Amino acid sequence: RTIQQRHEIAVDGSAYHSYWFCEGCGYRSDAIKTHAPGIFLHSEGYRWICWRGTPYDLTPNQSVIVELLHERYRVGAPDVHQWDLMKKVGVQNSRVRDSFRKVNHELLDTLIIHKAGAPRGTLRLAL
User: Where residue 13 falls among pLDDT bands split at 50, 70, 90?
Assistant: low
Contact criterion met (CB below 8 Å) for 30 and 9: no
**18 or 62: which leads in pLDDT:** 62
The continuous run of DSSP H or E covering 40 comes out as: strand 40-42
Q: What is the pTM of this model?
A: 0.73
Res 36 pLDDT > 80: no
Q: For residue 46, give the nearest of 27, 64, 22, 34 by alpha carbon.
A: 64
Is residue 53 scored above 90 in pLDDT?
no
